Structure 1
Amino acid sequence: MLSFTTPAPTLDVLNLDFLKQFKYFNIVRSCNGFLLCMSEPGAHYFVCNPITRDFTTLNNHPFGNRGAELYLAFDPSISPHYKVISVLQQLVYDKSVFVDDWVFNEYCFKTRSWSPGVSFRTKQLPGCHNAKGVYCNRAIYWCTNAEFSMYFDIDAMLLTKYWRMPLSNSEWVNRSIKYFGESGVRLHLAVKVAKQTFKYDIFELEENYSRWSLRHRVDLSPVRHMIMINGGSFYDWGFNIVRPVKEEKSMLVLVAIKQTLIVYDPLTSTKLCEIKMGPTAQSIKSSISLGKVFHYLENNALVEACTDKPDSTRQLCCAIL
């Protein structure tokens, strides 16, 4: 857990020892202080709050837990209740061709069961997979190397097939997406600059969702040397964008390489600090190399009811697990 509330960022391990009854588990999503986790063996899902140290398990998905991707939706400023939405992408044989069906289900915590699913037929969108969505402000968004992508409204249970990406089809040539995520209730996208391996354009979706704005071009060329001396490859590093405060120009880039975490200021492309992860690296370095970095906000809401305790003072930090 990387805290930005102190004068210099500090690294600590998020205490999850209250989940010791689960021998093995992975964190799948985080949302405003709640964590959605999957236990092994059996792939059972549960929602927990590390602050109140309570959790609740979900019954198995009708399609099988391994077939669907689950998303956690919790917005305490809008509602004290949280949702878990599953997304299942299926190939369906229709009129002599295979087409995509996307099936959405919501878990009801009152009845402890999954609601009947709603399905939508979608056109093939390059790189758009049910596992790569990002939750933000009551919707799940997907991005793709194309001019348009799609999002799902979790309240209306409606899939809007197309929303404009920052680049046109022709502009995606020799470019690829390094990062797509949410911080400060804003969506961010990092796209590799054409023929520039360690240079990235950072886009931010406007608050009214009207368009993407190019915020920064960050040069991470120094990362190349660190990857080489650590014996890694081009893919052995994680990338994350964080808004420590809700100021318009506030943004940090986190780069995780093996046992080192680097904090960059994209406005000046300068390194602010470098943190050695020490003993914690052994348990988290494999996740870091896959870019699994979760934003975390401390919250005193109870997992079971979400109404028994008022919202507490929240501390903005980034949990790296």
Structure 2
Amino acid sequence: MKGFSTLLLFSSKFNDDDNNVSEYFICNPTTKQFKKLSFLQNPIKDGEFYVSLAFDPLQSPHYKIIVVREVLKNSLIFELDIYASESDGWKVATTIFETKEGDCIKFEDSVFCNGKLHWNSYGNQSLYLDVEKECLQMMPMPTPLRGNRLEIYRYFGESGGRLYLAATCHAYIDLDLYVHQMASDYSHWFLKHRLNMGDAMEVFPELNLGCHPFSSGFSGVSFVGSERKEEVKVVIWADGKIICYDFNDGAWKMIHDPGLGLKIGTPIEYFNHLHEQRFIPYKYFESVYVFEDM
């Protein structure tokens, strides 16, 4: 398939007589061509089933699809299936592993970085997969804060070959965003920055950031590179506006404001804000690779 190497993995749900069914597709939005994925092992009914894309267009035009599939319902035992576009073939049950209930691993929230697929977790540890070696490894997660601060959400991402995790922590109606970076040897996370959302509201008073218990006031967090390679910009989608904190000059800035009437989301019983819905952002960029076939 010819065109810029921008790929999207997306799913479409429909109802049959017995269950909700998801179909998965790989799409090149530049050429408007897509490929429907056919799984050799279908998920068990009502079992956990997660699909991730491992693709770095700066390294290779080829991609892999990683499937985490529950072996038995509510067993916490999973199998890994891997599809390689280069061979157009599946390796089924390459790895069988078991998780602990307290790990709270979010297999639907994955980040591909430096040839490894990482999964977010709300526990003290998670997993990552070395895609080439097909080797699964443990990785620690930041320890949740104790005391009068309550951790609500974790946002997982990467920039410049580094893993980042931002955690929202509430104390009454005060909200902080703790930004962590993973050590290069995967031994630990270290706290890079602590941002108070009250400072952002002084710059953007129209936003309601952390003003309600158990609600952060924004729907997604991403991490993008800045002029200084050792720093990142923390990008936040809040009530339809996209703002960022630039660590180069220590300032909150507006990136995009679509104006009134362009917010996405449906009203919810006590709140009428976009941030009541959760979004996982993904980066978009183009390269010069050419695809002959998906």
Both structures adopt the same fold (TM-score exceeding 0.5): yes
CA offsets per residue over residues 256-287 of structure 1, 9 Å max, x none?
22232222224655222253224893567869
* Unpaired stretches in structure 2, ≥5 consecutive residues: 15-20, 267-273
Q: What is the percent sequence identity of the aligned residues?
A: 24
| Structure 2 Cα separation of the partners of residues 45 and 170 of structure 1 | 40
The match for 2:113 is 136
Which of the numbers 157, 161, 166 marks the counterpart of 2:134?
157
Is contact 1:141-1:152 (8 Å) kept?
yes
For structure 1, which runs of at least 5 residues remain unmatched after alignment? 1-31, 93-97, 307-321
Cα-Cα RMSD: 3.7
- Does the Cα contact within 8 Å between 1:141 and 1:150 map onto a contact in 2? yes
Paired with 1:257 and 1:202, the residues of 2 have a C-alpha distance of 17
Q: Matched residues in 2 for 1:168 and 1:217: separation?
A: 14
Q: 1:111 to 1:248 in 2, by over 3 A?
A: closer
Query: Could you say which residue in structure 1 is the equivalent of 2:28?
Result: 49
Tell me the secondary structure at the aligned position of residue 191 of structure 1.
strand
Kindly report which structure 2 residues correspond to 1:209-228, keeping only aligned pairs within 5 A, or say none: 209-221=186-198, 222-223=200-201, 226-228=206-208
Q: Report the equivalent of 2:17.
A: none
Which residue is equivalent to 2:54? 73
1:298 maps to which residue? 286
| 8 Å Cα contact 1:178/1:239 also seen in 2 | no
The alpha-carbon deviation at position 173 of structure 1 amounts to 7.1
Aligned equivalents of 2:276, 2:151: Cα separation in 1: 23
Who is 2:162 aligned against? Answer: 186
Deviation at 1:172, TM superposition (A): 11
Match of residue 82 from structure 2:
106
CA contact (8 A) 1:52 1:300 kept: no
Looking at structure 2, the residues matched to 113 and 89 of structure 1 have their Cα atoms a distance apart, in angstroms, of 21
Change (3 A) 1:248 1:206: farther
Specify which structure has the bigger relative contact order, considering alpha-carbon pairs within 8 angstroms and separated by 6 or more residues: 1
Q: Is the 8 A contact 1:204 1:215 kept in 2?
A: yes
Q: Displacement of 1:184 after TM fit?
A: 2.4
Structure 2 counterpart of 1:301, which letter? Answer: Y
Task: Give yes or no for contact 1:99–1:122 (8 Å, CA) kept in 2.
Answer: no
The answer as to 2:269 corresponding to 1:260 is no
The Cα offsets for residues 103-159 of structure 1, whole Å up to 9 and x where unpaired, read as 111124467553221321233333213223322222222243443322222222222
The residue aligned with 2:8 is 35
Change (3 A) 1:265 1:288: farther
Check the 8 A contact 1:89/1:130 in 2, yes or no: no
Contact 2:107 2:120 (8 Å CA) reproduced: no
Q: Deviations over 1:230-270 (max 9, x none)?
A: x9982552232322347433321222222322222246552
Q: How many pairs align?
A: 268
Report SS of the residue matched to 2:30: coil
2:227 and 2:40 map into 1 onto residues whose CA distance is: 37
- Greater shift, 134-143 or 189-198, is seen at 189-198
User: Following the alignment from structure 1 to structure 2, what is the Cα–Cα distance between the partners of residues 120 and 172?
Assistant: 36
* Secondary structure of the structure 1 residue equivalent to 2:156: strand
Deviations 1:183-235 (A, max 9, x none): 22221111234637421221111334343232211121244953449x99825
Describe the shift of the 1:157–1:212 C-alpha distance in structure 2 as closer, same or farther (beyond 3 A). same
SS in structure 1 of the partner of residue 206 of structure 2:
helix
Aligned to 1:242: 223
Question: TM-score w.r.t. structure 1 length?
Answer: 0.68
Deviation at 1:82, TM superposition (A): 0.9
Answer whether contact 1:51 1:300 (CA < 8 A) is retained.
no
Residues 287, 239 of structure 1: alpha-carbon distance in 2 compared, 3 angstrom cutoff: closer
| Counterpart check, 1:127 vs 2:107 | no
Does residue 83 of the first structure (1) align with residue 64 of the second (2)?
yes
